[in-house]
Amino acid sequence: MISEGDHAALAPEQATIPPGHSWHRIPIVAGVIALVGAVACAILGAANPKQFFFSWLVSFLFFLSLALGALFFVLIQYAAQGGWGIVLRRIGETTFATIPVMAVLFLPVLLGLHDLYEWSHAEAVAADALLRWKAPYLNVPFFLIRAVLYFGIWSFIALIYYRGSRGQDVTGDLGVSARLRRFAGPAIIVLALTQTFASVDWIMSLTPHWYSTMFGVYFFAGSFVGFIALLSVIAPAMRQAGLLDAVISPEHLQDVGKLLFAFTVFWTYIAFSQFFLIWYGNLPEETIWYKARMEGSWMTVSLFLMAGHFVAPFFYLMGRAVKRNNATLAAGGVWLLIMHFLDLYWQVMPTLHPEGLRPSLLDIAALLAVGGCFVAAASWLMRRQALVPLRDPRLAESLAFENV
């Protein structure tokens, strides 16, 4: 641990990846994995393009949700003026800095628009009164405009916070924190709105006859749980690798575990509320989505999600000791990342396979391709900068943080 006299400052060598450290190889390894995944997608996708586009959409949504969850995490750190999370904030900044990369990875979704979305076919719209009614919103040109708008807004917010935080490492200007704090509240509102509409466009419109006014919150809850789960893996991994082991303490890990526990419960509350309201309303235009997921092997997945995304982590993360230990916290984070991926898979894939669960090698190939690009970009940024915001005015508070 850092002594009390060291709380006023942190030497750069304490917060960077040392030369020759194994973590410098992560971008190269991740890049190779991405290349292997891309080649597998090209080979396997040629024989089954529709499966490829659905598999790619799931993996794209998974890693984009982690980046958006990271952006929200950093914004609330500024808005709440919290001190404990300063030493962890740079992890969030390097994660959301991948959003421009995710914008590029959205291109295959655009190429597969007609394979993914029923409303993109003019003949389907002409034959369906409801699709005609929704056509002013669900049409290809407006869909593309909204996608550009989403990525433009997210990238703009991400750039402001990423450059501001890194710039403060150099200048030490306290005004940077004040400006970013003032901007955080409006940015949270904009992020909430754009993320909601993006989830409607990219997931809910896969079943264009269905709607839910809670779906945006459901996607947000999953995104934030996903990022906190990622943070629960990366922070202990850094400590285990000798990076920030004197900076990130069990006190910080415990608060990460608290967030993971709390938002797992929040995700469950939103997921159940959406289901319960639709169940007792019992309107055909609302129940069709859940009906498809309560038949055949999709029902098994639904029950497994219930147990794996709530019951198991609820009891596992309840204890204090689990949250303060590198290995046990990381294990909980890995499990919830798997559950978050399965949740998105469960949201998307019944559109393609209503008859039941049909795993495909393209699911793995797409996960490797998108995930490799995501990890390569984030780890490349991580090795080019300090791992904590060295001259943030609340750094000393964060280093001295203790749970009450």
Cβ atoms of 74 and 96 within 8 Å: the answer is: yes
pLDDT tens, position by position, 314-326: 999 999 999 999 9
pLDDT, residue 9, reads: 58
| H or E element that contains 40 | helix 26-47
**Residue 92 phi, psi (nearest 5):** -65, -40
pLDDT tens, position by position, 341-353: 999 999 999 999 9
Residue with structure tokens 């940024």? 381
The H helix count followed by the E strand count for the chain is 19, 0
* DSSP string for 296-333: HHHHHHHHHHHIIIIIHHHHHTTSHHHHHSHHHHHHHH
List b or e across 32-49, with b for residues whose CB sees 16 or more CB atoms inside 10 angstroms: ebbeebbebbeebbeeee
Indicate if the pLDDT at residue 4 is higher than 80. Answer: no
**Mean pLDDT computed over 1-13:** 53
Contacts of 159 (CB under 8 A, 6+ apart): none
pLDDT, residue 5, reads: 39
CA atoms within 13 A on the CB side of 216: 12
pTM as predicted:
0.95
Residue with structure tokens 């984070």? 333
pLDDT tens, position by position, 159-198: 999 999 999 999 989 999 999 999 999 999 999 999 999 9
How far is the C-alpha of 145 from the C-alpha of 153, rounded, in Å?
12
Indicate if the pLDDT at residue 7 is higher than 50. Answer: no
Q: Taking all residues of the chain, what is their mean pLDDT, rounded to a whole number?
A: 94
pLDDT tens, position by position, 73-126: 999 999 998 889 999 999 999 999 999 999 999 999 999 999 999 999 999 999
How far is the C-alpha of 155 from the C-alpha of 150, rounded, in Å?
8
Cβ atoms of 223 and 66 within 8 Å: the answer is: yes
Cβ atoms of 229 and 313 within 8 Å: the answer is: no
Enumerate the domain spans of the chain: 4-399
Q: Which of 144, 133, 143, 186 is nearest to 161 (CA)?
A: 186
pLDDT, residue 82, reads: 84
pLDDT tens, position by position, 228-265: 999 999 999 999 999 998 899 999 999 999 999 999 99
**Mean pLDDT computed over 290-311:** 96
**Mean pLDDT computed over 272-280:** 94
Q: How many CB atoms lie within 10 A of CB 279?
A: 12
Helix axes 140-171, 174-202, angle to 10 degrees: 160
Q: How many CB atoms lie within 10 A of CB 322?
A: 19
**Residue 30 phi, psi (nearest 5):** -65, -35
Indicate if the pLDDT at residue 14 is higher than 90. Answer: no
**Whole-angstrom distance between the N-terminal and C-terminal Cα of the chain?**
18
How far is the C-alpha of 70 from the C-alpha of 175, rounded, in Å?
23
Contacts of 15 (CB under 8 A, 6+ apart): 244, 247, 386, 387, 388, 390
Q: How confident is the model at residue 404 (pLDDT cuts 50, 70, 90)?
A: confident
- Residues found in the chain: 404
Structure-block tokens of residue 372: 């490799």
**Mean pLDDT computed over 349-362:** 96
pLDDT, residue 2, reads: 42
How far is the C-alpha of 308 from the C-alpha of 81, rounded, in Å?
33
